[in-house]
Chains A and B, each alone.
With several copies, the nearest count.
Chain A
Amino acid sequence: MVTKEDVLNWIKHYADVVDANETYLTELDAAIGDADHGINMQRGFKAVMAQLPSVEDKDIGTILKKVGMALVSTVGGASGPLYGTLFLRMGMAAGNKNELSEEDVLKLFQAALEGIKQRGKAVPGDKTMVDAWTPAVEAFQKAVTNGDTLSVALEKTTIAAEEGMKATIPWVARKGRASYLGERSANHQDPGATSSYLLIQSAEKVWNHKEV
């Protein structure tokens, strides 16, 4: 079970992760983009943290939609609409629930991936955040089918996301700013795939009570 508290803690934990990785994400973006991904995410999650108190007593759907709206209206860039849509769609999938079963979490993750694919029109292999999310959602689904506990499922998901993120390194980008570089985008890890991996890893850490 993932409780409303778990969801709130996930958001808060990720805001700290973004702070700690601001420079790292920005540097990844400097190599193949415009050196702002960490800055963008930080600005977004600062706004999220400011708005979170207003919905802390609401249901999970309301909370996640609030996160999405905050990101959409403060981040800009590519990551704004993408992460915004991702959280908005998870919120819509969560509805007025106050806790989530393993199946519910799967629906949220699927909705997230569906949202970013619709918004950004990227497919796997384009060297985007889709490449962290696609194997992650697949891994979670398989684990659920397998009958794995949530804890184990999340561990497998995180590993899959990490692999997906690392897989982007050799690729030539086909979407986003990195695509303008053509061949020169190869041999760099995609920034958005990295922040997506960190988001999934954060869920695993918080929900498996390894950290808060």
Chain B
Amino acid sequence: MKKLINKPEDVVKEELEGIVFAHPDLVRVHFAPNYIVRADAPVKGKVGIVSGGGSGHEPLHGGYVGIGMLHAACPGEVFTSPTPDQIYDATKAVNGGAGVLHIVKNYSGDVMNFEMAAEMAGADGIEVASMVTNDDVAVQDSLYTQGRRGVGVTVFVEKIAGGAAEAGMPLKELTALANRVNENGRSMGMALTSCTVPVAGKPTFELGDDEMEIGIGIHGEPGRERMKIKPVDEVVDMMADAILTDLPFKSGDRIIAMVNGMGGTPLIELYVAYRRLAQICQGKGIKIERNLIGNYITSLEMAGFSITLLRADDEMIKYWDAPVHTPGLRWGM
């Protein structure tokens, strides 16, 4: 295992110490239990937004804490959900009297830990609403299963809900908006290589030198199909087809598109992939109104990428464009 770390078990703590040094203007960090919170939290009279999940997906979620996005993020161990006490304390820290929204990715662990925390905060009289993202079309959806994973759309939900909360949107409306974003977003990912969880010390899975994994999750969970490497145009075709037919997206739709690197993919390759995606959308009369190209929701050093498309309405685009100032996303200020 080759990593820029000291002891594997100290990675998350030391990363948080790095954040303390790097962004004192934007965030404060609480240790034991760990959470990152806006420097000016709680914001009086506005809904607080808390998200979190396993570490290793940076900049998600800690990098999105700041003005116009998350009020707090709870980082678990690498690829392991945070614990209820982290979420409970973060919820209390951002409660400005207008309630707190939990943005939760659909993994058993995340859902259960956030649920326990919400019960604890609710018992304290804090109004907590939860919404669960589940945009990964690689997973078959069904009433009887866990359902789909929450992946790239989480970035969109955090940005748009963050902008709306900043504008003073009340909790009920905000939760509805966040759910609408999730319902209109679809994603799919693929990997060229595995990644290595520091404490595990070896790759999560093995891929042949000429193989790729389509439909991979963000934790190195093996995908739905392993196949020989293909030119990126064919890969984008496959992924875009799965995404576009799922919602389905239609001619005339306005979308926000993300081509996201998994952590070990050079930017030059992401632009090559974006090129193909843009050609496909153009061909189908789907208009990309906004885009993000880069590392926004990663899987440590995995090579690969994901595509997320959001069918956006005016309100979503308005809050997408709203000023944001976080370590990981910044515009308009």
In the complex, A touching B (Cβ < 8 A): yes
Q: Which residues of A contact B217 (CB under 8 A)?
A: 34, 177, 180
State which of B74-82, B240-248, B280-288, B289-297 sits at the interface with chain A. Answer: B74-82
CB proximity to A under 8 Å, residues B186-230? 197, 199-200, 204-205, 217, 219-222, 224
Q: Which residues of B contact A180 (CB under 8 A)?
A: 136, 138-139, 146, 148-149, 217, 221
Structural contact, A78 and B200, CB atoms closer than 8 A:
no
Given contacts A39-B77, A78-B112, A174-B146, 14 further A-B contacts (CB under 8 A): A30-B205, A36-B77, A36-B80, A76-B76, A76-B82, A78-B108, A80-B109, A81-B115, A82-B112, A119-B112, A174-B142, A179-B145, A180-B149, A180-B221
Structural contact, B221 and A77, CB atoms closer than 8 A:
no
- Knowing A34-B221, A176-B146, the reply to whether A78 touches B116 (Cβ < 8 A) is no
Q: Which residues of A contact B219 (CB under 8 A)?
A: 34, 177
Q: Which of A33, A80, A81 has the most CB of B within 10 A?
A: A81
Partner of A81, one of B79, B116, B139, B205: B116
Pairs A-B, 10 closest by C-beta atoms: A81-B112, A34-B219, A78-B109, A77-B109, A78-B108, A179-B146, A76-B76, A77-B80, A76-B80, A174-B145
Structural contact, A78 and B221, CB atoms closer than 8 A:
no
Q: Which residues of B contact A40 (CB under 8 A)?
A: 77, 80
Minimum C-beta distance from A174 to chain B (A): 4
Q: Which residues of B contact A72 (CB under 8 A)?
A: 83-85, 116
User: How many residue-residue contacts, CB under 8 A, span A and B?
Assistant: 118
In angstroms, Cα B144 to Cα A43, docked, is: 31
Encode A167-202 as 1/0 by CB contact (under 8 A) with B: 000000011110111101000000000000000000
Structural contact, A34 and B83, CB atoms closer than 8 A:
no
In angstroms, Cα B148 to Cα A36, docked, is: 20
Q: Which residues of B contact A26 (CB under 8 A)?
A: 200
Encode B142-164 as 1/0 by CB contact (under 8 A) with A: 10111011000000000000000
Residues of chain A touching chain B, judged by Cβ–Cβ distance below 8 Å, are: 26, 30, 32-36, 39-40, 43, 72-82, 84, 119-120, 174-177, 179-182, 184
Q: Which residues of B contact A175 (CB under 8 A)?
A: 108, 145-146
Closest to B107 in A: A177
Asked if B54 is an interface residue, CB under 8 A from chain A, the answer is yes
Asked if B140 is an interface residue, CB under 8 A from chain A, the answer is yes
- Knowing A35-B200, A184-B222, the reply to whether A75 touches B146 (Cβ < 8 A) is no
Minimum C-beta distance from B5 to chain A (A): 15
Q: Which residues of B contact A74 (CB under 8 A)?
A: 83
Q: Which residues of A contact B108 (CB under 8 A)?
A: 78, 120, 175-177
Asked if B327 is an interface residue, CB under 8 A from chain A, the answer is no
In angstroms, Cα B204 to Cα A179, docked, is: 17
Structural contact, A181 and B80, CB atoms closer than 8 A:
no
In angstroms, Cα B5 to Cα A132, docked, is: 38
In angstroms, Cα B85 to Cα A74, docked, is: 9
In angstroms, Cα B142 to Cα A119, docked, is: 19
- Knowing A34-B220, A81-B109, A81-B113, the reply to whether A76 touches B54 (Cβ < 8 A) is yes
Minimum C-beta distance from B66 to chain A (A): 24
Structural contact, A39 and B146, CB atoms closer than 8 A:
no
Minimum C-beta distance from B225 to chain A (A): 9
In angstroms, Cα B120 to Cα A84, docked, is: 15
Closest to A43 in B: B77
Structural contact, B84 and A73, CB atoms closer than 8 A:
yes
Structural contact, A35 and B204, CB atoms closer than 8 A:
yes
Closest to B196 in A: A35
In angstroms, Cα B33 to Cα A190, docked, is: 30
26 CB contacts below 8 A, A to B, read A26-B200, A33-B221, A34-B79, A34-B220, A36-B199, A39-B199, A72-B83, A72-B84, A76-B76, A76-B80, A76-B83, A76-B109, A76-B113, A77-B76, A78-B107, A78-B109, A79-B109, A81-B113, A174-B146, A176-B108, A176-B146, A177-B107, A177-B217, A179-B139, A181-B222, A184-B222
Q: Which residues of B contact A36 (CB under 8 A)?
A: 77-80, 197, 199-200
In angstroms, Cα B79 to Cα A36, docked, is: 8
In angstroms, Cα B79 to Cα A39, docked, is: 11
Q: Which residues of B contact A30 (CB under 8 A)?
A: 200, 204-205
Encode B97-137 as 1/0 by CB contact (under 8 A) with A: 00000000001110011011000000000000000000010
Minimum C-beta distance from A23 to chain B (A): 9
Closest to A123 in B: B144
Structural contact, A182 and B107, CB atoms closer than 8 A:
no
In angstroms, Cα B224 to Cα A82, docked, is: 27
Q: Which residues of B contact A78 (CB under 8 A)?
A: 81, 107-109, 112
Closest to A40 in B: B80
Structural contact, A75 and B83, CB atoms closer than 8 A:
yes
In angstroms, Cα B221 to Cα A177, docked, is: 8
In angstroms, Cα B83 to Cα A43, docked, is: 13
Q: Which residues of A contact B115 (CB under 8 A)?
A: 81, 119
Closest to A26 in B: B200
